[in-house]
Amino acid sequence: GNAFTDAELEAFHKRIMEVGSADVAYSAEPKFDGLAVSLRYENGILTRGATRGDGTEGEDVTENIRTIKAIPLRLRGSFPSLIEARGEVLMFRADFQKLNDRQRGLGEKEFVNPRNAAAGSLRQLDSRVTARRPLRFFAYGIAEIGDSEAPGTHAVMLNWLENMGLPVS
């Protein structure tokens, strides 16, 4: 669930306790407002990057994904033969401001907000344009996994993704 205030978090906890388990552990992370993507790695090599699309079929943005410095082209350490990691491509507000300053200086159209700037940057037809944009990526989940067992908790999964070289919040 999402919580924006202490009161909402306390209400969430109360609902969980009403279900009947006193032994509860939480994992919390920021909610990023960007573009959801899936990264598919086969034998540790990035083979595809796609947007969420309609939930069944997304847009292939592999060439543009490859230009985002935070996204490893090759996983490190121990990894399954196949893994599809889910995450968010976004732009920090300070980077967004600098991008709009640059756009303004060049007499080009400014972006409305960081989410639209990130989404538009990732959907560029020319990956060289994407490469010049200050995009970031944070993994938050696994959609598919090959020959390994999925981690038992969200926190363990985030550590596992990070150990493979994927940035997490």
Alpha helices, H only, 28-89 = 62-65
The pTM assigned to this predicted structure is: 0.87
- Residue 162, pLDDT > 90, answer yes
Burial of 18 (0-12, 13-18, 19+ CB in 10 A): exposed
Catalytic residue ranges: 31
pLDDT, tens digit (0-9, with 9 covering 90-100), for 91-111: 999 999 999 999 999 999 999
Tokens of 61: 């943005």
Closest CA to 86 of 45, 136, 137: 137
What are 17-67's pLDDT values in tens digits?
888 767 788 888 888 889 999 999 999 999 999 998 776 778 999 999 999
More confident residue, 23 or 117: 117
Separation CA 82–CA 58 (nearest Å): 19
